[in-house]
Amino acid sequence: MEEIRLANAEKRTRDALPELTEKIVASYSRTRATCRLDRCSLPNKETVVEILSDLNEVLFPGFRRRDRLNSNNVVYYVGNLVDKIYDALRAQISRAFCGETANGSALEPCRPEKRADFDRRGDETAAAFLAKIPEIREKLEKDVEAAIKGDPACKSTAEVVFCYPGFEAITTHRIARALWELEVPLIPRIMSELAHSRTGVDIHPGAKIGEYFFIDHGTGVVIGETCEIGDWVKIYQGVTLGALSFPRDENGELVRGTKRHPTLEDGVVVYANATILGGDVVVGRDSVIGSSVWLTKSVEPRSTIVIEKPCLVVREN
């Protein structure tokens, strides 16, 4: 009897599914911002994940998927990867450009002539990005060096590449930043949020980060879009480089395109859980910002900023 009752309940539910489906589809016309029916395709997140994985293989040959790489087979192997990345990336960049335009937001499908223009931009931009890979590798080499010199627990380059979440986040940022500089919409943000979900480190691709950058431990770090960070900067877990406030125009809309996040000059060290806020804030070179500091004004070079040590009180029960 119980089996019959369950079977009848399932049948009633399945009979109701067509009506439920019609209600769901009817809601699409009332919620236009979150529905893209009859419009151009946006970048595919799963494809972007695969592109990132292939790029890491190119950036760190011999560290990841392929064993026994040598001078005889590396050109063939990397050549195949670069060809694969180019095909995937140009298609996703074309989609991103299409989605950003007025045509991409309109109800009618993208016109063929516009589609061809997006495809051309996708080709050119993907090629320009691939040309940046040697430069990205040189920056990452310096970031590895900063990690080894900045952490006495670090034993090797392999440990940094395999085990340091901060370095993983920096790697993704270097990639996303290169695409950001080429004015690619959406894809750099998808990449940065993938790194955020994996590492706990949230770096906006708009942030300008110099050479020899090291994030120790990593979890909870936030680096905002308009941050500017110099060379040999080291930050610890829980650090926020954020905006102090969000100015609005006469219509109450957020003012965009202004510098909202701080600048850290060369050699700055920021310890755990410190918060530095504001686009006008400049932390002078070789300064040290202590743990849990809340900073909303600039400091001179070679300054040490700490909060007063709390008084420890011990009471016997």
pLDDT, one tens digit per residue, over 110-154 is 666 678 889 999 999 999 999 999 999 999 999 999 999 999 999
Supply the pLDDT for residue 110. Answer: 63
- Contact call for residues 272 and 255 (beta carbons, < 8 A): no
Strand order in the sheet with 202-203: 202-203, 222-223, 240-242, 275-277, 294-295
Q: Which amino acid is at 114?
A: K
- Contact call for residues 120 and 97 (beta carbons, < 8 A): no
User: What average pLDDT does the segment 254-270 reach?
Assistant: 92
Report whether pLDDT(31) > 90: no
pLDDT tens, 284-303? 999 999 999 999 999 999 99
> Worst-scoring range by mean pLDDT, 5-9, 69-73, 163-167?
5-9
Homologous superfamily of the 133-247+257-305 domain (CATH): Hexapeptide repeat proteins (2.160.10.10)
**CA distances in angstroms from 88 to 50, 120, 181, 202, listed in the order given:** 9, 14, 19, 25
Block residue for tokens 């609005």: 248
Closest CA to 220 of 240, 194, 206, 204: 240
295 contact partners, CB below 8 Å, separation of at least 6: 274, 275, 276, 277, 281, 283, 289, 305
Supply the pLDDT for residue 67. Answer: 83
pLDDT tens, 169-184? 999 999 999 999 999 9
Query: Which run of H or E residues covers position 135?
Result: helix 133-150
Supply the pLDDT for residue 225. Answer: 97
Supply the pLDDT for residue 39. Answer: 77
pLDDT tens, 37-90? 877 889 999 999 999 999 999 999 999 887 889 989 999 999 999 999 999 999
Closest CA to 287 of 275, 263, 305: 305
Supply the pLDDT for residue 103. Answer: 43
Supply the pLDDT for residue 105. Answer: 46
User: What average pLDDT does the segment 8-19 reach?
Assistant: 86
Report whether pLDDT(21) > 90: yes
Closest CA to 272 of 301, 248, 300, 239: 239
Q: Tell me the helix, strand and coil percentages in the chain, rounded to 5.
A: 45, 10, 40
Q: Return the SS3 of 307.
A: coil
Supply the pLDDT for residue 111. Answer: 67
Report whether pLDDT(250) > 80: no
Q: State the Cα–Cα distance between residues 12 and 317, nearest whole angstrom.
A: 65
Between β-strands 222-223 and 202-203, what pairing exists: parallel, antiparallel or unpaired?
Answer: parallel
Supply the pLDDT for residue 249. Answer: 74
pLDDT tens, 203-229? 999 999 999 999 999 999 999 999 999
Angle, in degrees to the nearest 10, between helices 133-150 and 165-181 = 150
- Contact call for residues 48 and 125 (beta carbons, < 8 A): no
For the question of whether the overall pTM of this predicted structure is more than 0.75, the answer is yes
Spell out the domain ranges in the chain.
Answer: 34-130, 133-247+257-305
- With cut-offs at 50, 70 and 90, classify the pLDDT of residue 100: confident
168 contact partners, CB below 8 Å, separation of at least 6: 195, 198, 199
- What is the 8-class DSSP label of residue 208? E
Q: Which residue has the higher pLDDT, 204 or 12?
A: 204
User: What average pLDDT does the segment 92-108 reach?
Assistant: 71
